[in-house]
């Protein structure tokens, strides 16, 4: 019985760390915000992270009896650890190079790491996503995206 809870905790640990990281970033931005419109993007991200974490936690807590896994299983796999490092680097890069460049580089690096075969799509997907976010938040909603020292 205790082993089942330990295995569930291990699978919930990565989403929990990600949620706490997003929450910390949201609080930091909210403290430095000049107005209520400055934190709308971070509010959206925090809500999405909260919902995702709650869904993962509920899924793990309601699972039926599961197969016994090896005792030596790692808490984070190497791919999960690399993505955690990429996300931390992304958030840190926001302060220095701004949202547009940091998001493009993060998405491109993620697709490259996942070995996305087509190099044209590997460039097109991050560009279209970043451009779409810019249009939605900066143009339509007239909100400022995080800018860095370089941009």
Distance CA 47, CA 17 (A): 15
Query: Which has the minimum average pLDDT: 9-18, 32-41, 61-70, 142-151?
Result: 61-70
- Tell me which residue has tokens 């997003």: 22
Distance CA 105, CA 42 (A): 19
Provide the residue ranges of all domains of the chain, joining segments of one domain with +.
1-73, 76-151
Strongest mean pLDDT among 34-38, 55-59, 132-136 = 132-136
**How many C-beta atoms lie closer than 10 Å to residue 72's C-beta?**
5
**What pTM, to 2 d.p., does this model score?**
0.57
């Amino acid at each position: 019985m205790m082993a089942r809870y330990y295995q569930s905790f291990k699978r919930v640990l990565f989403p929990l760390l990600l949620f706490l990281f997003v929450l910390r970033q949201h609080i930091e931005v909210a403290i430095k915000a000049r107005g209520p419109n400055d934190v709308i993007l971070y509010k959206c991200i925090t809500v999405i992270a909260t919902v995702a974490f709650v869904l993962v936690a509920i899924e793990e807590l309601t699972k039926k009896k599961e197969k016994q896994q090896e005792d030596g299983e790692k808490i984070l796999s190497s791919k999960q650890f690399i993505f955690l490092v990429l996300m931390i680097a992304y958030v840190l890069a926001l302060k220095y190079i701004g949202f547009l460049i940091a998001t493009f580089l993060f998405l491109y690096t993620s697709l490259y790491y996942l070995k996305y075969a087509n190099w044209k799509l590997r460039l097109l997907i991050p560009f279209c996503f970043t451009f779409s976010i810019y249009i939605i938040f900066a143009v339509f909603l007239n909100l400022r995206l995080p800018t860095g020292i370089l941009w």
